[in-house]
Amino acid sequence: MGRPRRGSPSSQLDVIYRYDGEHCACAAGVAGDPVCQHRAVVRFTLGTLPVVVVHIEEMEPEIVPCHSCMHGKVEEFTSGHISGFALCTVCGGAGSVAVVADEPARIAA
């Protein structure tokens, strides 16, 4: 696939593996792993590593509890004491928010 390369794994700097994008001398390559991390680097560099692009708009949101409130309500304080409750401005009083798995949950600043 490409010219042979040599490299050291980050976990064993005293070891050198020979890899070319098809074969690798690392333990995973010898064990038959179709794409060890060393071959993946070569394939990425050569532009032959398949890349799947998923647009966030296409991902299903996950409903998670709102971390800014308790069941849709936040406590209001007057003179250091709880004076009542108001609807949460993050979830709109729902008590939960929809987030995409790779997107961090939104928390009110």
Residue-wise DSSP of 1-36: ----EEE--TT-TT--EEE-SS-B-SHHHHTT-SS-
Tens of pLDDT, residue by residue over 72-104, are: 888 888 887 888 888 888 888 898 988 866 544
- 106, part of any domain: no
Question: Which contiguous run of DSSP H or E holds residue 97?
Answer: strand 96-99
Q: Is residue 9 part of a domain?
A: yes
User: What mean pLDDT is reported for the chain?
Assistant: 77
Number of domains in the chain: 2
Which pair of tokens denotes residue 97?
Answer: 């928010």
- Are 60 and 95 within one domain? yes
What per-residue confidence (pLDDT) applies to 108? 42
The pTM is what? 0.37
For residue 14, tell me if it sits in a domain: yes
Q: What is the CA radius of gyration of the chain?
A: 25
